[in-house]
Amino acid sequence: MRRPLRTRLPGKSYGLSPANDNGFGRQERQNERMDMRAVTTLLASCLVSACIGGKGGAGTGAPPVPTLNTVAISVNAGPAAALGAINHAYVTVRVCVPGSTTQCADIDHVLLDTGSWGLRLVGSTLTADAITLSPETDGQGNTIEECAGFGSGQTWGPVATADIALAGEMAAKVPVQILDDTGAGAPPPLNCGTGVIVNRVTDWAANGVLGVGVFGPDCGMTCTGAATPLAMYFGCTTAGICTAENVALQAQVTNPVTLFASDNNGVIINLPALQNANGDTLVQGELIFGLGTQSDNSLPVTGLTLLGADANGNFASFYNLATVAVPARIDSGTDSYLFDDPTIAICTSAAWVGYYCPVIAPQSLTAMNVSAQSTAAIVPATSSTVIFSVSDPDSFVAGAAAFAGLAGGVGAPTFTWGLPFFYGRPVYIGFAGRSSGAFTGPFYGY
């Protein structure tokens, strides 16, 4: 993403919870794509309790009606408050006050992120739509707030519950983080990461972040019973004094897809290949919920690479014939390929600080992806060599929003396959502990 929309180097983040945050910048089924306006009209007319699961038949013996499990993805220039976004895949999320069918809002331009887990919404965006979500409290009555680490800084704000709708899928009372962009709540404590807070629409070029990565709760067991609680979840008094504390799994910010009644074992991100080498102004695709649960989300019988992920959500990548692998992740929330290669020239133009500008472009590169050795997934031991190209972003068309060859990351200790990796191939995300046919997550597939 171009400056000044971000205060970070290329990309977004790498990881989320302390267990996996390493501190560096983290569908061509066009005929079946649904109109989000029709979806939200349908959802507004039904009770949350009746919509969950979305299945049922009309009359005795009638076959069940499949849940509508597809939402549109749009790669575009971003929300009005942060125009100029590059390689940002957006979805629209319906958010309701728990139990209400009238206190709801459709939040557009929510960044789709396979590199984190959980929904985070900019507070002022909710306020503009007259949505007030009540924060969770701990056993002492203190507000539970979260400091979630991203490569560009930390998000800070209270954890609240909301009913979430995506297409025909529903999840009730989902813990979400409200990004306190106005400073209305308790100030972040001194031990909240680096002290750089990224809560604004302009920090993300988005109204929120939908983390649909390989896990459910965003910290997991690490944050439930540590003798010294991690500086991630805090109990904050009315006086604004915040103390790190453990939080139960069900109270942690959670990937909402894992809480659907069905189609809850993974997602498919399907984006078409770009039409122009120097950038497209608009790319439209789809996010499909479930793996092997409906006729539209089957895993391919042949030609599929599955990469088991470890407890941090990583597999391994050997870049450019390297003999030592680095942790890697497929991350739709990062705008570029991120990897360390000091032999590639760095851009000198102010618009592309930190990105690669190869002398001869596009420059063809390779990397071999391998399942994590200590994988928690149950998948075959597979590997795959990927050929990709790095372009000179100074050649990109002004005003375009999607670029296939954008890369950066000098000094990165990891390899991030950002949004350029998604163009022209379906990507499969298998959730931890959930089975997809013969395979059990966490895994990545393409």
Question: What does DSSP assign to residue 431?
Answer: P
Higher-confidence residue of 327 and 24: namely 327
Q: pTM to 2 decimals?
A: 0.87
Cross-strand partners of 137? 143
Q: Given a cut of 90, is residue 318 above it in pLDDT?
A: yes
pLDDT in tens, 48-73: 333 333 333 334 456 667 889 999 99
What pLDDT is stored for residue 83 in this prediction?
Answer: 93
Lowest mean pLDDT of 23-37, 233-247, 377-391, name the range. 23-37
Paired tokens of 420? 């350029």
Query: Do you find a cis peptide bond into 188, omega within 30 degrees of 0?
Result: no
**Phi, then psi, of 235 in degrees rounded to 5:** -100, 125
Domain range 300-445, CATH architecture: Beta Barrel (2.40)
pLDDT (average), residues 25-43: 36
pLDDT band at 381 (very low <50, low <70, confident <90, very high): low
What pLDDT is stored for residue 375 in this prediction?
Answer: 62
pLDDT (average), residues 215-237: 97
pLDDT in tens, 149-207: 998 899 999 999 999 999 999 999 999 999 999 999 999 999 999 889 999 999 999 99
Q: Given a cut of 80, is residue 14 above it in pLDDT?
A: no
Measured CA to CA in angstroms, residue 244 lies from 133, 142, 193 at distances of: 22, 12, 12
What pLDDT is stored for residue 195 in this prediction?
Answer: 84
Q: Given a cut of 80, is residue 19 above it in pLDDT?
A: no
- Tokens 């209305």 locate to 184
pLDDT band at 275 (very low <50, low <70, confident <90, very high): very high
Element (DSSP H or E) covering residue 42: helix 36-44
Measured over the CA atoms of residue 116, residue 307, residue 24 and residue 76, the dihedral's sign is negative
pLDDT (average), residues 18-38: 36
405 CB-contact burial (10 Å; exposed 0-12 / middle 13-18 / buried 19+): buried
- Which among 72, 116, 66, 85 is positioned nearest to 2, based on CA atoms? 85
- Which among 35, 114, 107 is positioned nearest to 68, based on CA atoms? 35
- Which among 125, 117, 197 is positioned nearest to 156, based on CA atoms? 197
**Where do the structural domains in the chain lie, given as residue ranges?**
30-259, 300-445
Task: With H, G, I as helix, E, B as strand and everything else as coil, classify residue 82.
Answer: helix
pLDDT band at 6 (very low <50, low <70, confident <90, very high): very low
